[in-house]
Structure 1
Amino acid sequence: MSSTNTRPYESIPSRKVAFIGLGVMGYPMAGHLALAGHQVTVYNRSSAKAAGWCKEFAATPGPASGATPKLAAAGADIVFCCVGNDDDLRSVVLGPDGAFAGMKKGAIFVDHTTASANVARELYAEAQKLGLQFIDAPVSGGQAGAQNGALTVMCGGDTVAFDAVKPAGMAFSKAFTLMGQSGAGQLTKMVNQICIAGLVQGLSEAVAFGQKAGLDVNQVLDVIGKGAAQSWQLDNRGKTMVADKFDFGFAVDWMRKDLGLVLDEAKRNGARLPVTALVDQFYADVQAMGGQRWDTSSLIKRLK
């Protein structure tokens, strides 16, 4: 994405915000905040990535790079974050150089990491002790959704804090929804990943079956995509599966991390997830084939 992006933004008041974590998701998300007119300070473990972001969005008001999460968060009304996992999240939030140490009273931390519901509740409680607010807000839509400013955001936390952050969050979202109390955002993302795991396995078997049957599978997908079998996965991944292309999209390693969170939560709440557990093992097979960074649609590779 570039600073010439022409996505229309609603007219909302400019806020002083920080963004921690400039990976494939965070970099464009922070960019949309800058393009929407917010004053953005960024932090990334790689200072070169932060410097590159500042250079790209130099035309927007006040982009800057903080040397630590604490410095990046200083004075911000809202601190957005998107890192890898629970441990990464704790490392940028807690401790003397963490974001909480630099945030002013009443500021809101919005975590877009796909993490556990437990860490969300833990950090919510810690924020409350410090006079801060915490919203867990995992996203769906992948790298393309982040670049296009069209993510779906599932939030858990207090209504007042949610209402305060939603106008800014809509800079990179098509939907920004409060699902319940702390942890509800992460639990909703788990439901999302359960659905995707089953859909991708079903689509993989369907495409592989059609190929074995000698059908023109692209034509088949066009036809069934107009009926009850239609899904986002069919529309966006069916034909790339036929073409054996997987060097894009949501990586298998990330999906296994997410499904690990799902299965851990299921152990706690007693949910039975036989298909999800099986598909998780199928993804382990894809990893063993060298497909750690392939798109999740690479499940079909096991069937060829």
Structure 2
Amino acid sequence: MPELIIQAREAAVSAHLSVKRILPFRRKRMVGPFIFMDHAGPMGSFPSELTSMDVLPHPHIGLSTITYLFSGNVTHRDSLGVEQIIRPGEVNWMTAGKGISHSERFEDPDLLQKGGLEMLQTWVALPKSVEENDPTFENYKPDQLPIYTDKGIWMRLIAGNAYGLKNDVAVHSPLFYLHLKLEAGAKIDLPTEHSERAIYIASGNLELLGRTYSNGQMIVFSKSEEATVLAKTNAEFMILGGEPLGERFIWWNFVSSSKERIEQAKNDWQTGKIILPPNDDKEFIPLPKSRSNPASSDVPPPEPLS
């Protein structure tokens, strides 16, 4: 049987944008290096003022954010001066290292008329050796992300390696991250290249080891477990994992192998040492009021986390 089943919890990341939060979870902080996962949407209706969905400039340290869309688009701006619209099938990979700030804005009025919005954001913790590297940002286009198809099976490799697929997305530790679609009745075996693995179901129903799971659930597998994924309905899901990095601390948008480093990051944000995006510097999210160990339970850490 799977090691653990995680049921997504609702969290708000801006005034009119709520998400399903999967990681971190009290009983499972990380899957390989993945320490955070949010699923926004699908959204087919929007507030009259799209700006009420915006996630204002906020800081990160010690992690890479991976933003991936099923539909819609989002404008990313960061303190490196990058401005990048991300569209479905692309990957925005931002490595915070010693410190970066960024915003996520919903500026396309077409979101109100067509396509809707559905996106996932995951965070990957960094190995200790690169936690203090300079921040970087890369956008990868769909033609850089290999796709595999078979009868009733479609998959795209977002990062890492699995099922014999590889791409040039720059990662800092062994991991894999896949987007899959299965037609009802199709099957696929769980990849075995990495020691920690999980499936997150975005839509539909999957059967594994004789039990059916549905959208909003993450199924975490033990190291040696083999399993075949059977689609009971048409289903869309993510498979992710990799090799563990060791203990990491998480507070608000900060991840580190050191509690002291997180305290420094708090001060850096309050004192302006982590600068704002130069093309989005008129507003920002202030440091939340401290509370003891905000990631110590299933209650989400102070918002927003994005």
Shorter-chain TM band: under 0.3
Higher Cα Rg, which structure? 1
- TM-score scaled by length of structure 1: 0.26
Higher relative contact order (CA 8 A, sep 6+): 2
Normalized per residue, which structure has more helix?
1
Normalized per residue, which structure has more strand?
2
- TM-score scaled by length of structure 2: 0.26
